[in-house]
Amino acid sequence: MEPWSNTRRRHCVVTGGAGFVGSYLVEALLAQGASVTAVDDLSTGRTGNIDHLHENPNFRLVQLNVADRSLLAPIVAGCDELYHLASYVGVKLASQTSSQTILNNLRAIDSILDLACHYRPRLLLTSTSEIYGKALDSNSGDRTSLAEDSDRVYGPTEVHRWSYAGIKSVEEFLTLAKHHEEGLDTLIVRLFNVIGPRQQGRNGPVVPRLIRQALSGEPLTVYGDGSQLRCFTDVADAIEAIVTLMARSDTAGETFNIGNNVPVSIRALAELIIEVTESDSTIEFVPHEAVFGKHFEDVLVRIPDVTKLQRLTGLTCEIPLEDTLRMIVDSTRIAQNAPG
C-alpha cells in the first residue's frame, strides 16, 4: 500500500466502502478533507462505485473480509473514525441466508468492536429499519411510526427473513455494551430504505428493480397486492445525516433513525416509476411465495419517527421521492447507453 502523506489529516475507515451507501459516504468524507480507506470484500460492493476516486491521493481501497481481524487491525490502528457499513443487504438475500452468512456477519462485528476498543477510534454502526420487524403491523395502539425506543416484533425463526433483523439487533446490543462497559465512543444509525443511483436490484431493493423493468418495457413485478407502505430516503439526505451526527460530541452512545417519513404504497411507487420513465409497462402482481418460497413474511407498514434526529440537528430527510426517482432513471439510462 502507498504510504499516506506526512500531513496529518483526519483518517476514516469505511467498511463496505465500495457498496451503494458506503461509496457516497466515502465521497462525502473526502470532500471534508479526510483521508479515507474503504474496506470491502466486493461480495456485494462494486469497484465501479469508487473507480472515480482512485486518482484522489487521500483515498485507497483495501479488499478483504472485515471478519479477518489480523488483516483489518493495521487499517483500524491508524484511524480516527470507523464507519461499519459492511453487511449483506436486500430482502431477497436475507430470505436465503445461510449459516455461513450469519456467522460471517457476527464475526465481523466482533472483529470491529475488538479492534475499536483497542485502538479507540470513534465508531459508527449502520443498522437498519429491519430492526423493528413488523412492529407497526402488530401494534394495536395509537403508534403510527417507529421511534428509536419502540418495541420490536419479529416472526418465527423458520422464516429466514428475520435472521437479518436478528443479526443487526445483536450488532446493536454488542455496540451499546462496549459503549457502557468500556467507554467506546459509538453511534448507531438505522437507515430506512435508502435509494439513489448506484443501487443494484439483484438482491431485493425494489426501486432499481422496477426502474430497470420499466426502462426495458417489461411488466413491473409487485410482490403481493402492493399495499405495503414504505418510506424511501434519498441517499444524499442519509449521508448528510450520518456525517452531521458523527461530527457532534453529544451523539455518543445514541441511536438515531434516518429516513424520510412520507409513506408510499409499493403499487403507487410502481405507478410513479411508470410515469417518470414514460414507460408502456404494466404492473404484474406476483405472490411472495413465487419469489421467496413458502417460509416468508412481508412487512405491511414501516414508517420512521425522526423526531430525535430533527430536534438535535434540524435535519429533515425530505428530498421528494419523484426527484430521487428521476435521478436514478437518468443515471440508469446513462449506464445502459455507456460503451461496452
Q: What distance in Å separates the CA atoms of residue 188 and residue 245, rounded to the nearest whole number?
A: 10
Helix axes 235-246, 20-31, angle to 10 degrees: 50
To the query of whether residue 119 is one of the catalytic residues in this protein, the response is no
Give the residue numbers annotated as catalytic, written as ranges.
164
